[in-house]
Amino acid sequence: MTLPEPTDLLGQIYAGWAVEMNRHPDMSVELLRIVFDDWQRATAEPEGVSYAHTELGGVPGIFVTPEGADADQVLLFFHGGGFALGSSASHRKLAGHLAKACGTTAFVADFRLAPEHPYPAALEDGVKAFDALLARGHRVRDITPVGDSAGANLAVATVLKLREDGRELPAQVITLSPWLDMENSGTTIETNNDTDFLIAREGLQANIDRYLSGGADPRDPLVNPLYADLTGFPRLYISAADTESLYEDSVRFHALATKHGVDVTFVVGEGMQHVYPFLAGRHPRADQEIRTIADFYRLGR
């Protein structure tokens, strides 16, 4: 049987990473972080967008400002990378495309990473960044948590934490290829193994072990939102590729949101890769997805 081959730049990048990680199974987390900052190579530089290194509430990151953006509106962006990898550098261009399409600014948070800082450090940083935006004068409804992969988990968990604390919630949340299942039980991890050029069960488990090394319960809704009661949750956008290993996380999350009466939109990128909007500016399906997200965003303002 002939195995599928990557058909776009993102798939080629993922396949290249997989080769090197298999070749060097003992690669350190520090070296993996350098490798994963290359994620940005999949994304074209958005025109008319400026970036500034800054911090919010003690959380470093990059503030993204497209020309003509509504300065009152901000996307609070949580990057993917299994809670251990990724950065504002790897995701600034993706955030730039999203912010430009939505007509907003964005802050890509460099939350603390595992294993040096296991749960709840990243979640605490998410809340700190949210509070710092409020202190800058933004209204709650003008702050939209956005995240991809593990960052989508954090975007959702930040809102769940705000609700747990009895606070006002954002109007909407946007998730890209969310990674939610900290029990590593998804069937598509196996069934999509040949079509997902990056993610395998062993790698997921390694990141779970890093993130939960402080003793967190993998069924805690703030760790695993698939166990959350989403009653009263903001309107929700879920984007995922049907060929990615984490696809079942999105299917289950969509079903959970629907069960609890959430206004949820679920868009599937057929034949695409994990977090396919990374191809913004380089692939028509990614550009279409950015536009669809922007349409969703504007309806919730």
Q: Which residue is listed with tokens 């530089």? A: 45
Task: Give the other-Cβ count within 10 Å of 141's Cβ.
Answer: 15
If one counts every other C-beta atom within 10 angstroms of the C-beta of residue 66, the result is 22
- Which position has the token pair 């509430």? 57
Which residues have a catalytic role annotated?
149, 244, 274
Q: How far is CA 278 from CA 21, 136, 177, in A?
A: 21, 29, 11
| 108 contacts 75 by C-beta, under 8 angstroms | no
First to last CA, the chain: 50
**Nearest 5°: CA angle at 121, between 151 and 159?**
50
Per DSSP, the three-state class of 8 is: coil
- Strands, sheet with 49-56, edge to edge from the N-terminal-most edge strand: 49-56, 59-66, 104-109, 70-78, 143-148, 172-176, 235-241, 264-269
Identify whether the C-beta of residue 150 lies closer than 8 Å to the C-beta of residue 119. no
103 Rama sector, left if φ>0, alpha if ψ -120 to 50, beta otherwise: left
